[in-house]
Structure 1
């Protein structure tokens, strides 16, 4: 049985959990919530890059992405940033939907699952 490794853990969550050759990232949100949707999406994807690196992998090995938007009117703007970030030829399975996020100034939250 593979060990479970938890990164950046607190009483409520781990920002990443590694089990065997799979990395599960918690939902990532922007630190600067005053930023517009484009800025928040860039921040979130940069945090995903950082967490993947800490777990020993990178965005070329992302298997699945879940994207939550506060407003589907932001779909095209989010996709413009996402499309520039994702590794062409290694695009993950993906879903995107509108949800009520944890705070009104959060515009986007993204979760990822990756291979190591």
Structure 2
């Protein structure tokens, strides 16, 4: 909540958000254990602000999927990430595999 107060203040001063701003805000949701809200915010960064996420934003979103056992959303994000030209890291794949594990989808995890 405090992070958004700072963000609103920054916006009111005419400053545009950049990757550091988005990473900080998404991280605030994550650290507050608001994983579903973090995923909604991640989607709004792309749709509402026309900002293409970087690997850090994607990996945070993937970790939220893992925490929620949203293995299918994690796979979709991984595909979107790669199709957007953001190369997935070993960590990205590990997070998706872990999401499948949490969701008890070992066969899908083996295919990642």
Q: Please state which band the TM-score falls in when normalised by the shorter chain.
A: 0.3 to 0.5
Higher-Rg structure is 2
**Greater relative CO (CA pairs within 8 A, separation 6+):** 1
Which structure has the highest strand share of the two?
1
Which structure has the highest helix share of the two?
2
TM-score normalised according to structure 2 size:
0.36
